[in-house]
């Protein structure tokens, strides 16, 4: 390809975008691969072919109509990974309902905000997960549930909510059982689902995902059929997925990683979706890959680290693995190299994006040279545009850092019920402002330098934490590391490294600093080193650097110099 003269790339492709709704595409896929394995959920002992999956999805879609739901109504799902989640994803699409993904870690206030923000008319929820009692939490919000007729809830604090559907065999007061709803649709509802198919349009909203903001309440990114179906397809293309593949999905379904990079990438290629458990567990994931002969594996870097460093790692036969995606947070080169070498992931890819862009805009190719694959996030996805701009909005030369802006079919419709924040994120020319600092080299490969708000300015020097992190990963005792900036009276900010050592290892602050001296610029050497057992992170595995910064400010008694 011709070398770039400015940091602008577009994904020219001879493969057209899919101009269908998820429901119609799913029906065609199920017909084409009817006898192929579609879904394996090990902790529930569920195994379905594509024909069986379609039959279950159709039953549930018809059953949802008996709740009085109409196209465009919002239905929440608050649950860890399970077969019901997968069925709900496709059944709501066929019924024209907007599926609202609710973070399994949410508590009372967050649940109340999410349900009311988008006006959920129905809610599907698990009974419990880990320390969360979902039914109990909902009763706290809506005590009226205890005496409500199922499907006819009237709650003061949740005025839009009518129907509550609980997973599991137990009967809960005021709730319908998922299995009963799935079997409740008759001939009239089945006919209505068939009639809806040509009426639903692919640009209509189908999914709302709440982005985990660092301040204020989360925003409801609203995605269309066109957004996520096409993104799933082209993600699968980059991985070279086929009906022969079995994709292990230990990442959460409530997030794009599970439902788009996982489910939709698999279904658009006739591959099998394999779920090891309700949530991530390193041992269970390794067992699943080995026993199910999975050919692909998804995860955030911390998940791959946990598997690679598991004491039983060596006893698992992972030779079936070929590809997968490492994403969700910056992927250390060292970890990528180990995944390729030790887990047989010779064609593993890195994907970059954000919920608001469905989510992927850059992805490495299985054909990219290994060094390019482990050191960049690859090149632009088909039918997507990206430019890198400076603080004045001007496109920068190749290799220069700036904010990454994305445009194309993948950009969300907007934030639900929030026109002002939608306009702040998407400008008049439909560019999505990501808030990420990135570079694009002359060959079109992208490198994510960090978040604009995470960039450290020390004595007038711009310091990118990612660069220091990549260097520190070379230290033989360091398993994981995160770098932040903290306030400093003299320099404005100073460098602080949070370090997780490998099991059985010990080190002191000066040893870490000595490792850096003479190897990286003096102003990049961490002034503060804190040894930790874990990092604060979201359910999806994203490191919450703002929490690390707040803790260090309190611990060191520092004065805040500038806004993060």
Please give the DSSP secondary-structure letter assigned to residue 16.
P
pLDDT of the residue at 509: 96
Final residue of a domain: which of 219, 246, 281?
219
Residue 395 covered by a domain: no
pLDDT for 216: 58
Specify the number of domains making up the chain: 2
- Tell me whether residue 31 is in a domain: no
Report if residue 428 sits inside a domain: no
Q: What is the pLDDT of residue 489?
A: 83
Cα–Cα distance list, 511 to 88, 427, 485, 557 (Å): 52, 47, 20, 24
pLDDT at 490: 80
CATH number of the domain at 83, please.
3.40.50.980
What domain range is 84 assigned to?
56-219
* Diameter of the chain measured on Cα atoms: 75
The last residue of one of the domains, among 219, 234, 265, is 219
Confidence (pLDDT) at 564: 29
Domain-embedded: residue 72: yes
Instruction: In whole angstroms, give the CA distance from residue 247 to residue 263.
Output: 9
- Please give the Cα distance from 218 to 213 (Å, whole number): 5
pLDDT given for residue 562 in this prediction: 37
Element spanning 465, H or E: helix 465-472
What is d(CA 294, CA 306) in angstroms, rounded to the nearest whole number? 18
Which uninterrupted H or E stretch holds 374?
helix 370-375
pLDDT one-digit tens code per residue, 80-103: 999 999 999 999 999 999 999 998
The answer to whether residue 61 sits within a structural domain is: yes
Burial 260-284 (b: 16+ CB within 10 A, else e): bbbbbbbbbbbbbbbbbbbbbbbbb
**Phi, psi dihedrals of residue 395, rounded to the nearest 5°:** -65, 135
Does residue 471 form part of some domain? yes
Cβ contact 190:58 at 8 Å: yes
Own/partner long-range contacts of 559-562 (Cβ < 8 Å, ≥24 apart): 559/487, 559/489, 560/487, 561/487, 561/488, 561/489, 561/492, 561/493, 562/457, 562/487, 562/492, 562/493
Rounded to 5 degrees, what are φ and ψ at 162?
A: -115, -50
What is the pLDDT at residue 560? 61
Q: Which residues of the chain have pLDDT under 50?
A: 214-215, 561-564
- The answer to whether residue 501 sits within a structural domain is yes
How far apart, in whole angstroms, are the C-alpha atoms of residue 100 and residue 210? 8
* Boundary residue ending a domain (196, 219, 242): 219
Residue 540 sits in a domain of what CATH number? 3.30.300.30
Residue 533: inside a domain: yes
pLDDT tens-digit profile of 140-154? 999 999 999 999 999
Instruction: Give phi and psi for 376, each to the nearest 5.
Output: -135, 175
Q: Give the pLDDT of residue 357.
A: 98
């Amino acid at each position: 390809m011709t070398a770039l003269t400015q940091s602008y790339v577009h994904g020219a492709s001879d493969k057209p975008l899919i101009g269908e709704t998820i429901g119609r595409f799913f029906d065609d896929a199920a017909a084409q691969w009817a006898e192929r394995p579609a879904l394996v959920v090990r902790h529930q002992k569920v195994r379905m072919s594509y024909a069986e999956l379609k039959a279950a999805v159709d039953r549930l879609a018809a059953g949802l109509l008996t709740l009085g739901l109409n196209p465009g109504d919002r239905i929440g799902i608050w649950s860890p990974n399970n077969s019901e989640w997968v069925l709900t994803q496709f059944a709501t699409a066929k019924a024209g309902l907007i599926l609202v993904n609710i973070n399994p870690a949410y508590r009372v206030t967050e649940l109340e905000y999410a349900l009311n923000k988008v006006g959920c008319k129905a809610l599907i929820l698990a009974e419990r997960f880990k320390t969360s009692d979902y039914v109990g939490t909902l009763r706290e919000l809506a005590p009226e549930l205890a005496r409500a007729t199922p499907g006819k809830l009237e709650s003061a604090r949740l005025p839009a909510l009518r129907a509550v559907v609980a997973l599991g065999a137990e009967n809960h007061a005021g709730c319908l059982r998922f299995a009963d709803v799935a079997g409740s649709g008759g001939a009239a509802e089945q006919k209505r689902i068939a009639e809806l198919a040509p009426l639903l349009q692919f640009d209509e909203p189908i999914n709302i995902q709440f982005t985990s903001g660092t301040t204020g309440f989360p925003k409801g990114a609203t995605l269309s059929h066109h957004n996520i179906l096409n993104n799933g397809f082209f993600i699968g293309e980059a991985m070279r997925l086929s009906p022969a593949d079995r994709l292990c999905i230990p990442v959460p379904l409530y997030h794009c990683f599970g439902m788009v990079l996982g489910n939709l990438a698999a279904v658009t290629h006739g591959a099998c979706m394999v779920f090891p458990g309700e949530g991530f567990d390193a041992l269970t994931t390794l067992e699943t890959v080995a026993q199910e002969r999975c050919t692909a594996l998804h995860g955030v870097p911390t998940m791959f680290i946990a598997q690679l460093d598991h004491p039983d790692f060596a006893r698992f036969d992972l030779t079936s693995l070929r590809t997968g995606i490492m994403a969700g947070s910056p992927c250390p080169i060292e970890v990528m190299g180990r995944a390729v070498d030790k887990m047989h992931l010779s064609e593993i890819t890195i994907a970059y994006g954000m919920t608001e862009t469905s989510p992927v805009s850059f992805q490495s190719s299985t054909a990219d040279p290994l060094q390019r694959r482990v050191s960049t996030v690859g090149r632009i996805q088909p039918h997507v545009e990206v430019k890198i701009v400076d603080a004045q909005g001007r496109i920068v030369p190749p290799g220069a850092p700036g904010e990454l802006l994305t445009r194309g079919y993948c950009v969300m419709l907007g934030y639900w019920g929030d026109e002002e924040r939608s306009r702040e994120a998407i400008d008049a020319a439909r560019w999505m402002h990501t808030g990420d600092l990135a570079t694009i080299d002359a060959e079109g490969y992208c490198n994510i330098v960090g978040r604009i708000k995470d960039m450290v300015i020390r004595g007038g020097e711009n310091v990118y934490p990612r660069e220091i992190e990549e260097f520190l990963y070379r230290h033989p005792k360091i398993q994981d590391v995160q770098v932040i900036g903290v306030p400093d009276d003299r320099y404005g900010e100073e460098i602080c490294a949070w370090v997780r050592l490998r099991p059985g290892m010990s080190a002191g602050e000066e040893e870490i600093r000595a490792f850096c001296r003479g190897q990286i610029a003096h102003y990049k050497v961490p002034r503060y080193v804190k040894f930790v057992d874990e990092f604060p992170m979201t359910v999806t595995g994203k490191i919450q650097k703002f929490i690390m910064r707040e803790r260090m400010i309190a611990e060191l008694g520092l004065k805040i110099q500038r806004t993060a």
